[in-house]
Amino acid sequence: MGSLDNLLTPQRVLCRLDAVSKKRVLELTAQHIARVEQELEENQLYSSLLERERLGTTALGSGVAVPHCRVSGLTEPLGCLVTLSNAIDYDAPDGALVDLLFVLLVPPDANQAHLDLLAEVARRFSDTRYCQRLREATDLETLLRCAVTSEAA
């Protein structure tokens, strides 16, 4: 298992979330993470994710986005995998609608770790078969299993 696998837990996976916009998906994800990780504050997460998007879209293309930010109070990186029930406009460089997101939160001082994790996420999500398996998952258990299994099913 790679370091990306260690970022996900069954509680930090959202399957077929209903969201109509970039802001709404970030808001719902921040709410969910704050419920699961009680030391984190929902408004801070949402504001930090939104602020990062203002610097430039975190959409990678091909329907994938990797919203990410630094979060004070966080001691270890954490991730939340999200699939959407309907693809949304995410200002992607290729114009494609986004339906697959990996939200990455890192401690304020995790500079190299942040870059390494982003690179690993980008590498995994550049694999069309991997993304297809995630999109086909209809429940949390299947989605998590597909996410942490690098090999084609």
Q: Which residues are catalytic?
A: 68
Query: In Å, what is the CA distance from 62 to each residue of 35, 51, 80, 103, 143?
Result: 30, 23, 19, 17, 19
Backbone angles phi, psi at 91, to 5 degrees: 55, 40
Contacts of 119 (CB under 8 A, 6+ apart): none
Residue with tokens 């099913």: 153
